[in-house]
Structure 1
């Protein structure tokens, strides 16, 4: 099996190359730059000779965003959204031509339930969800399966706070390995929405939170009602049933 990994962090690429050896090819790139995807396509073509069994579009950043700072929105969308769009555009012809292939796109629960505090990140992941859904629909008559991976609380570089900088995994978080195992399990069951629990949030809790968010629109409640003071008791009672 041959693998190509692209990342902006060259030190991580060197470490992975040392661990995996000749089976791995790496490329330092910025997923928000179209010209970097051309470089990656050449590397993939050279290693796989026109075959691509698995495409994992996983790049993401989560800096803060402010309404007064449009650059924060641009930066987040360049990576989180256009990294996915560029990846699909670049490799779709190759992966469609490969029998029994798969595309996994990483979303976020924040792109579904839309909690307050980071509108740019939430909006980017909501757009990613929509892109993945449309791609799945459009590829329905092919042998390429599409999956939307929605991790829970996972101990990674993206989600670490200063309190977690010591490197010790919080008890409530899953490891990356747990997420990967869950992903493989659900892919074998041909599920599109792969919404991961963690050690604090169960699948049932996720389902209730998603349903509540959808009901904001159905019931004409104010948006993000779950976090509004006037709805906190109602949500708590509903969530407990």
Structure 2
């Protein structure tokens, strides 16, 4: 990626994790930053960390990405105070219920979709006019490896991340031939604060092992190569290969066997756990 001095970079969801790491990485490159998050305290911490490594201008605003008008106002403030955005990272996201679909309230589906999917849509629509004003610019939308496969206890989260994938692939086709390079990111197994609920911790401890720094480094390298998609994080390549090559019926059984040890199966119809199936196979 060829950045010019003082390019304007927008990152959403910067209060912690990968969002904060993106902000620090671009700050060290000398970019001007427009940062937002709904977590005012975490946003302030990130702003202070960025200011400690860069003297470039910083705009930080407490923004709810589910509010289209608020995101549009953030985009307008960015252009007025920093200049036209050349890189936009739609990173903001939340976890789902971590419960089976029949135990997940409809408002939870609506909230997860509002943040994870419509937050991306709002960011794209608000900043695309600025991105299109450059001969070359980048639009990075963050999905997940759970935007490649469907997993138990994550119907709400998977739905939102599959939606980001479909939207971004279609948007990339629409922008083909323009100066806007659309890149889709499928991180997996990243040790961030997204898994906040108590019943998510067993899953998180087993699977979320990659550092945000490692993932962001891979994303920046992929941006430099103008790749359309990057899959990164702990064991993410296995997930990508499985999604591409294994028939869905068999894949669903494999996923259940892999994850059943790390979720509460008491609310599921009676079925064998992974350890029970392994025991039977070895007898």
* Band of TM-score, shorter chain: 0.7 to 0.9
Q: Which residue pairs with 2:66 in the alignment?
A: 32
Q: Structure 2 vs 1, CA of residues 122 and 172 (structure 1 numbering), >3 Å: closer, same or farther?
A: closer
**Is 1:93 equivalent to 2:129 in the alignment?**
yes
| Partner residue, 1:206 | 239
Map residues 133-148 of structure 1 onto 2, 5 A cutoff: 133-148=169-184
Runs of 4+ in 1 over 6 A off after TM superposition: 169-172
For residues 130 and 63 of structure 1, the distance between their equivalents in structure 2, rounded to whole angstroms, comes to 19
Alignment of 1:127-206 (within 5 A): 127-159=163-195, 162=198, 173-198=209-234, 201=235, 203=237, 205-206=238-239
TM-score in terms of structure 2 length: 0.70
Deviation, structure 1 residue 224 = 2.5
1:2 aligns with 2:2: no
CA-to-aligned-CA distance 1:3-39 (integer Å, 9 cap, x gap): 0001001111111222223621100011001121132
d(CA) in 1 for partners of 2:256, 2:133: 49
Whether the 8 Å contact between 2:149 and 2:239 is mirrored in structure 1 is: no
d(CA) in 1 for partners of 2:125 and 2:44? 27
Residue 42 of structure 1, CA deviation: 2.4
- Secondary structure of the 1:224 match is helix
The alignment status of 1:19 with 2:49, answered yes or no, reads yes
Q: After alignment, is 154-163 or 55-64 more displaced?
A: 154-163
In structure 1, C-alpha distance between the alignment counterparts of 2:112 and 2:167, rounded to whole Å: 16
Structure 2 gap segments, 5+ residues each: 1-30, 258-271, 279-283
Question: Matched residue of 1:113: which SS?
Answer: coil
Q: Report what 2:114 is aligned to.
A: 78
Cα RMSD for the two superposed structures? 2.7
Question: How many angstroms apart in 2 are the aligned matches of 1:37 and 1:103?
Answer: 15
**Range with bigger deviation, 101-110 or 111-120:** 111-120
Deviation readout 1:109-146 (Å, 9 max, x if unpaired): 11211111121111110010001101111111111101
Q: Tell me the distance in 2 between the aligned counterparts of 1:10 and 1:228.
A: 38
The 8 Å contact of residues 116 and 224 in structure 1, kept in 2 or not, is answered as no
Aligned partner of 2:8 in structure 1 is none
Distance 2:70 2:88 in 1: 16
Calculate the TM-score normalised by the size of structure 1: 0.82
Distance 1:72 1:163 in 2: 16
CA distance in 2, matches of 1:118, 1:164: 11
Residue equivalent to 2:161? 125
